[in-house]
Amino acid sequence: MKKLLLFTMIMACTFAVWSQSLINQSAPYSPHQLFEDEQVMQRAKQQKGPNTQVYYEDFDGALPAGWTFVNPNTNCSWQWDTLYRPGQFTTGISRINSTTASNGFLLLPIDLCNTPTASPMDNLVVSPAIPIPQMAVVYVRFEQYLVYCCNASNDLVLECSTDGLTWDTYDAVPNLGVNVLSTNPQELTINVTNTLANADTAYLRFRASGSTAYFWMLDDLEILDGDSTSLLMQDFRNVFSRNHQFNPTYTTVPRALMEPIEFEADVLNDGFFSQNGVTTNVNIFNEAGFGGAPGFGQVSSLSSTLGSSILSQEDTTIVVDNPAYINLRSGDFRVDGTISSPLGVGSSPGQFTRRFSVGDTVFARDDGGYGGTAGPSDYVGGGNDNDAWGLLYEMLGDSGVATSISIYVPNDTDLVGVAIQPRIWPFDDSQATIGAAIGNPLGIQPFSTTIGLADLDSWLVLPYLTAPLLEQDSQYVVGWEQISGAANGLTFSAARDGSSSAIAPDVTNFCFLNEAGNARWFWVPTIAAVRLNFGPNPANGNFVVGLNEAKDAEFKMMPNPANNQVFIQFDKNQSFNLELIDMKGRVVLHKRVTDANSTVIDVSGFDSGIYYLRAIDENGSRTQKLIVY
């Protein structure tokens, strides 16, 4: 939230204290081929400031007079251009879609320079002295299109000076992960008051250091006179738990696990005056109910007022927890977060919207905003059998029987033939390393699932024959392990959810690389589409499929009750998994059906009693009760 100048000093101290902590155990990426259909929305933490323009440069026709390119110790340079110049990983990329792209823009073609041999960048484009009026609050705004590789510690920064000699540094890629395309364009507004307040001359430069792949394009640069009264909400979060050191965010939660939800707003006083009585306002709406039925509209309105002042250029977090939101309904919910202040919030305070759903059996951290892939081969040393990937989940309000894991398989034929198994690892965040925190997997399967053409661009359900019981308040890493395929150059990746990744807390997603001599776990910023599915809990009857799923049960069973063969018919041809679940929550039968509208199961070998037959496809699950006698 602070500009990079201050953040660097804080992190230096933090690293000294936490040098063995989990949060420092991340890893560099490997570059891969990019396509613009992978583009995902990435929210910059400082989106919009006031718009009184005092300087504008659109790079019309050529590099403006006085601007210079500096490229020490590299084989590359910034350049003025009207086209994007691709390299080995960016053949599908177009030029920046900025306001004035047709008349030219600045381009750093890292990928072109590093084809075929990569070397780290250390490149600058520097402005001449820019006369400006003296201002109390100063912003720099520009449009950009970029992606970088291969480490989050690489610098892509704006630097500002009043004399061209001493420079202050500001992050130009806030909240943008490694190997992730920004929007095209991304408009970024950065508060540079600490450098340019009351100055009459400004120098600007953009610096790229360390990156070894991809590109950076810049256009439509402005210096703006800011508001004296300006508050910015930089981020807003639904907080489902504070039980652990690292607490994930969720998009879908089973009703049995729901606990009171708190909310957090990160607020920056971007103006000149101190602010008192700053309030975060939270409005919650039930947008849809069971089976797509109409929702109840607004169901709650909460707020929290900060008891202390926020100084100019100070940021703080306001927690809305007294009261927290207690949810009593299933369905889809929208949460709107805003800020207010007696002094006023300025012209663009920002508003955030977060969403979550409450259902019966599905636990999810993705929101369906898929673009590109996420897997161990994204990282240096990846691409091996026994590589693994997982997302952190907490059993919030109950224990539960995990009957299967769902993974969204991208539409990538290179995945065909790779074999994987579902994995659930216990997670203990009191340990000093991620390798020690992640325990031995629960309920290892005797068989693997080999990816076929029919599995592409759809949800793949990986069942547990012996469903593990996950304990209340405990945390688990849920994902997959690759079993075979590496010998043929095959690696498995799931669909990447960029919009959820952009707001994922640190140390809540993990990767294991089975690299020879250097096998290791580390945390990653990316959410892959991996969901956890529950069966009935024998201890209390929770997680039984509710009316919404029963209403959508698009299959018939005959006969029922049965003691021999059961004929199952769907309304249309489709591919699905069948699970027969006993009253202890165990999956006692599993069957994969491909491109058919009917099948038969044999229940003659099962004990008499009540069972649940679940059909699972890319649209979710439908469950009906089956009586065996």
**Is 23 inside a domain boundary?**
no
pLDDT at position 613 is: 85
**Is 1 inside a domain boundary?**
no
Same domain, yes or no, for 345 and 425? no
pLDDT at position 546 is: 40
Same domain, yes or no, for 145 and 259? no
Give the domain-ending residue among 535, 563, 580.
Answer: 535
Give strand ranges (E) for 415-564. 419-427, 449-450, 458-463, 469-470, 475-484, 494-497, 509-513, 520-523, 530-535, 555-558
Structure confidence by residue, pLDDT tens digits, 316-353: 999 999 999 999 888 999 999 999 999 988 877 778 99
Give the domain-ending residue among 324, 359, 394.
Answer: 359
Same domain, yes or no, for 50 and 182? yes
DSSP 52: E
Give the domain-ending residue among 206, 225, 244.
Answer: 225
**Is 385 inside a domain boundary?**
yes
pLDDT at position 619 is: 61
Same domain, yes or no, for 387 and 479? yes
Single out the residue of 524, 527, 507, 391 nearest to residue 30, CA to CA.
Answer: 524
CA distance 291 to 387: 38
**Is 24 inside a domain boundary?**
no
Residues of the chain with pLDDT under 50: 1-20, 37-50, 544-553
Same domain, yes or no, for 388 and 488? yes
- Looking only at the bridges linking them, the beta strands covering 362-363 and 52-57 are unpaired
**Is 14 inside a domain boundary?**
no
Please count the structural domains in the chain.
4
Under a CB-based contact definition with an 8 Å cutoff, are residues 622 and 549 in contact?
A: yes
Single out the residue of 207, 9, 31, 15 nearest to residue 115, CA to CA.
Answer: 31
CATH number for position 602: 2.60.40.3080
Same domain, yes or no, for 503 and 592? no
**Is 11 inside a domain boundary?**
no
Same domain, yes or no, for 114 and 216? yes
**Is 16 inside a domain boundary?**
no
Same domain, yes or no, for 434 and 306? no
Q: How many CA atoms lie within 13 A of 134 on its CB side?
A: 2
**Is 51 inside a domain boundary?**
yes
Same domain, yes or no, for 424 and 570? no
CATH number for position 446: 2.60.120
Domain that holds residue 437: 370-535
Under a CB-based contact definition with an 8 Å cutoff, are residues 295 and 285 in contact?
A: yes
At 607, which amino acid appears? Answer: D
Same domain, yes or no, for 121 and 251? no
Write down the residue that tokens 């491909």 correspond to: 594
CATH number for position 176: 2.60.120.200
CATH number for position 292: 2.60.40.10
Same domain, yes or no, for 253 and 183? no
Same domain, yes or no, for 326 and 280? yes
